[in-house]
Amino acid sequence: MKRIYNTPTYNFNQTKRVLGAGEPVARVSASNGSASNGSASNGSMARGLVAGIINMAIISALLLLPASCARTFDEPEAFVPANFQPTHTIAQLKAMRAGGPTEVLDDITISGKVVSSDAEGNFYRSFFIQDETGGIEIKIGKTNLQSYYKEGQTIYVKARHLMLGSYGGMVSIGERSLEPRYENGFIDTDLRIKETIIRGTAGPKVAPYEITSQSQITDSRLGTLVTLKNAKLTRRNMATWAQKASGNIEAVYGEHTFQIGTRNVLVRTSGYAKFASEPAPSLNSYADVTGILTKYNTTYQLVLNSLDGVVLK
């Protein structure tokens, strides 16, 4: 913890002074508290001299404190990666949702590596982690999450008293929701985030799972990083990836449908993404498309981290 060492201020007019010869001294009587004038005794002068020396020594010592001690409380503490043993896999935790909002009551810890990034503005107030069994969305009511939860970094979630919820078939973990239409809400307070979402060691980015056949597009892959290999763009609602807000024009999601076999996957892009105004591929183009596989009811969707996830053939 950072500390601020402040040098105390001394009012030398209120301390005992070493007097010159013949100067009257004001003394307080221990018996009646009254002050009287007289000549200073040798004992009083000695005590005054000692007190002055001590005061000056204290001030000198404080001024000589090393600069490393002059730290402020709002400076960030050095990051020390956590290392916990998970008690459950992500798939096991997601399976505990009991048909509706479900509070986790046991001491359950999961871990996974970060596979999403909000650096390009296509994710908002949440991020995804995955392990070998699946992925899950962590709902945190903050922005600029990529500065704290970096792609490839191990994250531990202490899930006790957090809420499992689903929206359109996508299971996430967060806090209890104050809105009935949502099964869970955002973890908002810094203290709660610190208690439940714990950062581990950094690592290389996760390699996406390559999908070459429609049979590989299943719910077990939801929340994980995948690449649709050689997918065909068959439908789009606009020529750019999305529509940015401008003046009286509202931001609009871009919807571009890529096809693997006969299975459609909708690449949905926020109008607040930095690349929203970039031109999208032409219809009937083929591309490798990498992002987080999600779902809304029966429609599989893909969310891009950036345009680096689209490689035209």
The widest CA-to-CA distance across the chain, in whole angstroms, is: 110
Per-residue pLDDT of 241-291, as tens digits, reads 999 999 999 999 999 999 999 999 999 999 999 999 999 999 999 999 999
Q: How far apart are the C-alpha atoms of 164 and 160, rounded to whole Å?
A: 10
Query: Assign residue 297 a region: left if phi > 0, alpha if psi is -120 to 50, beta otherwise?
Result: left
Element (DSSP H or E) covering residue 46: helix 42-63
Helix %, strand %, coil % for the chain, to 5?
15, 35, 50
Q: Which residues pair with 25 in a beta bridge?
A: 38
| Whether 228 contacts 312, CB under 8 Å | no
* Helices (H) then strands (E): counts for the chain: 3, 17
Q: What integer pLDDT is reported at residue 78 of this predicted model? A: 85
- In the predicted model, what is the mean pLDDT of residues 183-194? 96
| Whether 97 contacts 217, CB under 8 Å | no
Q: Which two tokens stand for residue 254?
A: 């871009």
pTM of the model: 0.76
| Whether 309 contacts 233, CB under 8 Å | no
| Whether 303 contacts 122, CB under 8 Å | yes
Which residue is associated with the tokens 């096809």? 259
Per-residue pLDDT of 24-49, as tens digits, reads 333 333 334 444 444 444 555 556 55
Q: Is the pLDDT of residue 60 over 80?
A: no
90-199 under CATH 3.40.50.300, yes or no: no
Q: Which two tokens stand for residue 174?
A: 């967060």
Per-residue pLDDT of 84-104, as tens digits, reads 999 999 999 999 999 999 999
Pick the CATH number of 209-312 from 2.40.50.140, 3.40.50.410, 1.10.1240.10, 2.60.420.10: 2.40.50.140
Q: How far apart are the C-alpha atoms of 292 and 311, rounded to whole Å?
A: 16
Looking at the chain, the domain(s) classified CATH 2.40.50.140 span 90-199, 209-312
Residues 6+ apart with CB under 8 A from 110: 86, 87, 88, 89, 90, 93, 131, 136, 156, 157, 159
